Structure 1
Amino acid sequence: MTAPRMLRGLMAAALVLPLALAGCGGDDSGSKDGKTELTFFWWGGEARAKLTQQALDLYTSKHPDIKFKTTWQANQGYFDKLATLTAGSDAPDIFQIDDNYLAEYATRNVTEDLTPYKDSAKLDITKFPESLWKYGVVDGKLAGMAMGENTQGLVFNKTKLEAAKQELPKTGMSWEELIAWAQKAGPATKIPGTMDPSADYKAMWVWLRQNGKDLYNGNQLAFTKEDVQKWFELWKGARDAKATPTADVIHEGNETDITKQTVVTGKALTSWVWANQMPDIQKNTKDELGVVAYPGDPSAQWARASMYLSIYRGSKHKDAAIDVLNFLANDPEAVKILGTDRGLPSNLDLRAQVAATVTDPAMKASIALEDELVKKFGPSPAVPPKGHSTVKTELRKAAEAAQFGTATPAQAAEQFFNAAKAAVSG
């Protein structure tokens, strides 16, 4: 279901269904003990919940007049719940969000504009990479504070490649060089060389930027049908050259579940992911993995906010909520507690301190990639517009038509372009 349809349906549901998070909005009746209670909603696992609670407990120990009512859940269903809460004007004071939905909520005036707080230094982002905090701007308003930095990463099976005495992929190789590398590495390791990323929007996005285009320009597409055709043809050539797995395996790898990634299942030597997924991917295979930037000029990549914290525009406790955001991003003790759970810390000074304590090899590799690329990142694009989730779905649908041969690259490109255009401009 697309985000707009989902939101319309849930707005009606919010009027008749009891809310699991009743009282999330900024009700000034607050607490009977005279303390200000802030509601805080995020997605994640138990480890994130434990770390977040520890950081909030630290805040309360320094600000005894503030306490928190926290709610968290798995990613699945999170945005359904958030849509229900906002439709019922009962949103949490502080909530977690990502770039797939930030523009949707900002344009519906759900999120508080953080710009005045940034300008007055109540929200200090002077230690953030500029491209990182700007990736939270929607229509000139800062809709969310980046809680961590991330970027695209090509994860590869280092163990299998070294055993077969094959060259490892490296940052800066061209797309054609990557495909040629995969053609050679595949037969040597008896594993297809690279996952086909033609259904992956972030791979196509980087490729577009390297070719002087972009994914979006406001609520319009910033590429042509011919651009998409070239992208699909590039990967048809790779499939024909047997540099990739077969279409049925590619279909499996198109799933976003970590356990379905081809570098985990052993059905290809690479997977195209976000760099901060490296540790979780590594946990699912006994082979040692490595990670480099996507092919081509790395300046096409950018400091992507792994996720944001936003403040509900209807909150009655905005100043307190702003102080909490500032604390979580800039207090050395809080940042140390949170570590890299939500991505590399946005504050570069504190990031260096956290990175120095990391012992997990996979996380160290992810940090090393970010450190390498931070000097090469280009300007961040605008946050994806409303309809972006539909665009991602339609890209996969069209790319798989080309992968299975039920459509030519030209036909698949036309199918995707028309559907994507309708999704963002409708």
Structure 2
Amino acid sequence: MAGKSMERRTILKAAGASAATLGLAATTGCGGGAGASADGTVTLRYAWWGGEPRTIAIRKTIALFEKKYPKIKIKPEFTDYAAFWEKFQTQASGGNPPDVFQNAVGFLRKYDRRGVLMDLKSQADAGHLNLENFRNGVLANGQVDGKQIGIPVGANTMALVIDRKAFEKAGVEPEFGWTWDEYFDALQTIQDKLRIAGDTGYFGIMYLYDLYLRQNGKAFFTETELGFTEDDLTQWWEDGYKRVRSGLVADPKKIEQVAPKSGLSAGLAASEFTWDNFSIRYEGEGESDYGLAPIPTTNGKDTGQYLGSLMLSAFSGTEHPKEVAQFIDFMVHDPEVGRIMGYDRGILATTEQYEAFAPADETNQGVKAYEEDVAAAGVLGKITPHPSGADVVEAAFLRLGGEVAQGKTKPADAAKALFSEAKAAFAG
């Protein structure tokens, strides 16, 4: 295989993580407006999505903030991902979103276009928010049309999670710079020797397809539309479906049967593409050892990778912009907050927090090593812009890719449907 061999530390041994780390809590906070009391105390609403461990950690950081700023009280609101955005849509339409909230790149243009998001540059200019010390250019993820409408709290990148025992038994060693052909040859070797599928369903993952497109001079999105053709996508899904039929990719019906457990940790396949910081789930679910391996390439070098991130955004109509900025500043720069949050939302985005948190477990040590190696390889590019409606397109890609995998929809018909749904989403 091409490229230099991976250092052993990069293929991490994922150990000791609880599946609950990625579980989604159904608990929600109460609604209600923010305001100021007679003694000048200000109350800010802060909303996020995520599991119980995230909520426990965030509550600790809120307590720290309120100790430093006794005149600012934080009212938490939290739920799972789907319910969060359903609720937020209603709140935004009613002019009553939270003062501060967790955000992601797929929603920036959508809510910026609706005038919901504050340009935080004004608060930075006023000295209430520090926009320095963000690692590897990740601050740009929150920028749209010259405005800073999101402040990253963490960063992650796509990776290939492998069953290390399966790869070792098959005599296959992932290497930086390996090609897609070499990757699929490796999966064939695993299938031949171990009688299990090589992959759980790579072709239904929008963010992986984005990397493949970027390797080939395109991208999933431009700032206003899709950055590829129906023929491009038809080919991608046709190739994927052929690999399902040959057994190289796991049977989607079996994958469904073990859900919410991953097909990788259930032993149905030897590898799965996902975000690197999500790799903690597999050790909690499975019986093998799991590690991070490099993204396959088209030309033996470029992976198409970039750092994605979760962010904090602010409501443009908040009554307390200064306090909101102070809160965001504290949450992204305070070292103790970094030690409390760890890598729950990805590798910590600022140098203050990154240097303050030293992961003790092998899982997080491996995630840190993987991102450092990817950055050192010089392959990281800028994140692909996401137009308004990108969230709808992502959901459609996942659904239609699943239909292709199950043989319910022909690849060409699925590609046509995606373009139709995307057109409607971008116009909405």
Aligned to 1:147, which of 145, 148, 153? 153
2:131 — aligned with what? 125
Structure 1 residues 382 and 109, CA gap change in structure 2 (3 angstroms): farther
**C-alpha displacement at 1:141, in angstroms?**
1.6
**C-alpha displacement at 1:155, in angstroms?**
0.8
Aligned residues: 397
1:106 — aligned with what? 112
**2:401 matches 1:399:** yes
2:327 — aligned with what? 324
Partner amino acid, structure 2, of 1:145: I
Q: Using the alignment, how far apart are the partners of 1:320 and 1:21 within structure 2?
A: 21
1:310 — aligned with what? 313
**2:47 matches 1:38:** no
**C-alpha displacement at 1:300, in angstroms?**
0.8
Aligned to 2:387, which of 385, 389, 405? 385
**2:94 matches 1:93:** no
1:364 — aligned with what? 365
Note if contact 1:304-1:380 (Cα within 8 Å) is conserved in structure 2: no
Q: Using the alignment, how far apart are the partners of 2:235 and 2:71 within structure 1?
A: 59
**C-alpha displacement at 1:107, in angstroms?**
1.4
Unaligned runs of 5+ in 2: 1-27
**C-alpha displacement at 1:246, in angstroms?**
2.7
Instruction: Using the TM superposition, name which of 76-85 and 379-388 deviates more.
Output: 379-388
Partner amino acid, structure 2, of 1:166: G
Note if contact 1:276-1:343 (Cα within 8 Å) is conserved in structure 2: yes
SS at match of 1:374: helix
Matches within 5 A, 1:282-361: 282-296=283-297, 297-305=301-309, 307-354=310-357, 357-361=358-362
Aligned to 1:239, which of 241, 244, 247? 244
Q: Using the alignment, how far apart are the partners of 2:165 and 2:406 within structure 1?
A: 30
Instruction: Using the TM superposition, name which of 274-283 and 386-395 deviates more.
Output: 386-395
Instruction: Using the TM superposition, name which of 319-328 and 394-403 deviates more.
Output: 394-403
2:263 — aligned with what? 262
Partner amino acid, structure 1, of 2:202: P
Q: Using the alignment, how far apart are the partners of 1:32 and 1:395 within structure 2?
A: 51
**2:161 matches 1:160:** no
Partner amino acid, structure 1, of 2:145: D
Note if contact 2:220-2:227 (Cα within 8 Å) is conserved in structure 1: yes
**C-alpha displacement at 1:379, in angstroms?**
2.9
1:224 — aligned with what? 229
Q: Using the alignment, how far apart are the partners of 1:175 and 1:252 within structure 2?
A: 28
1:275 — aligned with what? 276
1:13 — aligned with what? none
Q: Using the alignment, how far apart are the partners of 1:103 and 1:406 within structure 2?
A: 33
Q: Using the alignment, how far apart are the partners of 1:298 and 1:366 within structure 2?
A: 20
Partner amino acid, structure 1, of 2:374: L
1:22-45 deviation per Cα after TM superposition (whole angstroms, max 9, x unaligned):
4334x3xx2244312222111223
**2:56 matches 1:54:** no
How many percent identity over aligned positions?
26
Partner amino acid, structure 2, of 1:146: P
Note if contact 2:170-2:189 (Cα within 8 Å) is conserved in structure 1: no
**C-alpha displacement at 1:150, in angstroms?**
0.8
1:372-414 deviation per Cα after TM superposition (whole angstroms, max 9, x unaligned):
1123343323442222233223323443443344554444333
SS at match of 1:169: coil
Note if contact 1:137-1:383 (Cα within 8 Å) is conserved in structure 2: no
Note if contact 2:347-2:354 (Cα within 8 Å) is conserved in structure 1: yes
Partner amino acid, structure 1, of 2:78: W
1:77 — aligned with what? 83
Instruction: Using the TM superposition, name which of 58-67 and 272-281 deviates more.
Output: 58-67
2:13 — aligned with what? none
Note if contact 2:191-2:248 (Cα within 8 Å) is conserved in structure 1: yes
Unaligned runs of 5+ in 1: 1-18
Q: Using the alignment, how far apart are the partners of 1:159 and 1:213 within structure 2?
A: 35
**C-alpha displacement at 1:111, in angstroms?**
0.9
Q: Using the alignment, how far apart are the partners of 2:85 and 2:145 within structure 1?
A: 22
Structure 1 residues 106 and 252, CA gap change in structure 2 (3 angstroms): farther
Note if contact 1:22-1:90 (Cα within 8 Å) is conserved in structure 2: no
Note if contact 1:104-1:385 (Cα within 8 Å) is conserved in structure 2: yes
Partner amino acid, structure 1, of 2:177: G
Q: Using the alignment, how far apart are the partners of 1:404 and 1:334 within structure 2?
A: 44
Note if contact 1:289-1:362 (Cα within 8 Å) is conserved in structure 2: no
**C-alpha displacement at 1:352, in angstroms?**
3.4
**C-alpha displacement at 1:247, in angstroms?**
4.2
TM-score, length-scaled by structure 2:
0.85
Q: CA RMSD in A?
A: 2.4
Partner amino acid, structure 2, of 1:420: A
Q: Using the alignment, how far apart are the partners of 1:46 and 1:413 within structure 2?
A: 37
Q: Using the alignment, how far apart are the partners of 1:393 and 1:62 within structure 2?
A: 41
Q: Using the alignment, how far apart are the partners of 1:65 and 1:36 within structure 2?
A: 6
Q: Using the alignment, how far apart are the partners of 1:94 and 1:407 within structure 2?
A: 41
Note if contact 1:38-1:69 (Cα within 8 Å) is conserved in structure 2: yes
**C-alpha displacement at 1:346, in angstroms?**
0.3
Structure 1 residues 266 and 56, CA gap change in structure 2 (3 angstroms): same
1:258-312 deviation per Cα after TM superposition (whole angstroms, max 9, x unaligned):
x33211221111112111111123211121101123211454110111x111111
